[in-house]
Structure 1
């Protein structure tokens, strides 16, 4: 019979703010994504798609382009942070 300590031995707990929008399902999906594809590759793919979009749509950018660019910036920054954190984990 396993004890509660055995049950949680292979898990890592995080403290999130009470009003977080992050769910266990989101964390699982994120972990799956980052296990399948390194953050650096995801960031590179995003940048490539973004640049291709700019090249093809440079004459008629949408009115909400600034919002799109801001969202894109946050995604790239997330993958940059994820890459740094994963490198720290591998160095330990």
Structure 2
């Protein structure tokens, strides 16, 4: 897992790993490839969207598991916090 990133987003009261997506860059397309590693096909694909955006931005393989309530405001806040961490501590990413 050299040059990759794992992001686990969860409620503090409900620690679970119910889905996970991986996204990686392809030399054949500008858009990252993204696929489900865990979870059912009926689950919301928020993890997929976050993984694809981060993979493209960071130019590396990204694993994302997002297990929180489906709330647009919360998800925008979570994603903003991830980007703030990337800007604040780029050596960690």
Greater helix content: 1
| Structure 1 and Structure 2 fold alike (TM over 0.5) | no
- Greater length-normalized contact order (CA 8 Å, ≥ 6 residues apart): 1
Q: What's the TM-score once normalised by structure 2's chain length?
A: 0.33
